Amino acid sequence: MSDYLGDDRAVALQRSIRDRIPMISADPLLANGGRILNILDPDAWGWDRVKREAERDGVIALSLVDREATLKRLADEYGPDHAFPFWEVFTGAPEEVLPACEARLAERRRPDGWRLSHHACADDATIQASQELNMSTGVMPTPAYYLRGEHVPSLLTCLWTEDGALAACASATMRYHPDGPLGGWLFAGGVSVSEARRRRGLGALVNAALISESHARFGWRRVVEQAKADNAPSVGMITLCGLKQEPRKMTITINRTGDYFTR
C-alpha cells in the first residue's frame, strides 16, 4: 500500500507537504492538511508568500477566513474573472455539539451485527479500505502516514457491516498549532458512505461517533467541518451533529491547476 493516492500531481504535492512538516509545524499560521497546505491568516502571513506557495503547490487552502475581505483581496491579486472554489464552514463547542452527537447515536442505531471502530493509529488494511471508500465518493483520500497519526493526533472512525465490508468512515485531526488562531480545535471530515447504503442516516451516525470519540481522546475545545454550499446531504449531516454555520467565514482554495480537488 502506498502512503499517497491520486494522480501524479496530487501525489507529488502530498510528498512535498510531508517534506515540509518541520517548517509547517513551527508556524502558528500554517496547518498540514495532508492533501493540501492550509494558511489560516493570509493577511498576517503575507500575500506575497501566499502567492508563492500557490504557484509552487498548484493548490492551497485559505482556511476559516473572512468571506468578503478575502474574496476582494483575491480579486485584487488575481483579477475578477478568476474562480476560487470554496467551502462553507461549520463550528461548535463541546457543550453544543456533544449532546447533539449523543442524540444522533441514540436515534440512528446501527443495524444488528454492524460495528463501529476507532483508530488513532490505523493499520494498513483499515487505511486502504477507508481510502478506497473516499475515492468512490469523490473525497480525496488522506495520506496513510497522516491516518497513522505520524504527524498530528488523528482518529479514523469506521462503520463495518456484519460481513466485514466498510459501510461508512470519517476522520479527524488536531492539525492546528497550539499557539495559532485555531489552537485546540479539531478538524473533522472525510465522511464517506458506500453507494449501496446511503439515505439511511449513516453519515450522521459515523460523524457523530467520530466527534464524540475524538473529544474523549483529545479534549478539543472546538470542532470545525466544511461542506460545499450545494452539498445538501453533507450540510444536513453536519448540522444534525450540532455544528452551526459561520456566516462570515469560508475556506477558499487558490487552485492554479484547474484540477478537481475534493467534494
4-43 confidence digits (pLDDT tens): 888 889 899 999 999 999 999 999 999 999 999 999 999 9
What pLDDT, on the 0 to 100 scale, is given for residue 64? 97
- DSSP-derived letter for residue 194 is -
How far, rounded to the nearest angstrom, does the alpha carbon of residue 260 sit from its chain's CA centroid?
A: 16
- Max Cα-Cα span within the chain: 56
Identify whether 211 is part of a domain.
Answer: yes
Identify whether 148 is part of a domain.
Answer: yes
Does residue 247 surpass a pLDDT of 90?
yes
Q: For residue 76, what is the domain's CATH number? A: 3.40.630.30
103-145 confidence digits (pLDDT tens): 999 987 788 899 999 999 999 999 999 999 999 998 888 999 9
Identify whether 120 is part of a domain.
Answer: yes
What pLDDT, on the 0 to 100 scale, is given for residue 140? 87
Identify whether 263 is part of a domain.
Answer: no
What pLDDT, on the 0 to 100 scale, is given for residue 160? 97
153-177 confidence digits (pLDDT tens): 999 999 999 999 999 999 999 999 9
Instruction: State how many domains the chain has.
Output: 1
197-244 confidence digits (pLDDT tens): 888 899 999 999 999 999 999 999 999 999 998 999 999 999 999 999
Reported as half-sphere exposure (CB side, CA atoms, 13 A), residue 91 has a value of 17
**167: closest CA among 123, 219, 108?**
108
Identify whether 241 is part of a domain.
Answer: yes
Range of the domain at 226: 8-255
Decide: 65 and 258 in contact? Cβ < 8 Å: no
182: number of Cβ within 10 Å: 24
Does residue 263 surpass a pLDDT of 70?
no
Identify whether 260 is part of a domain.
Answer: no
Identify whether 64 is part of a domain.
Answer: yes
- At residue 42, the 3 state secondary structure works out as helix
Computed from CA positions of residues 61, 242, 103, 120, in that sequence, does the dihedral angle turn out positive or negative? Answer: positive
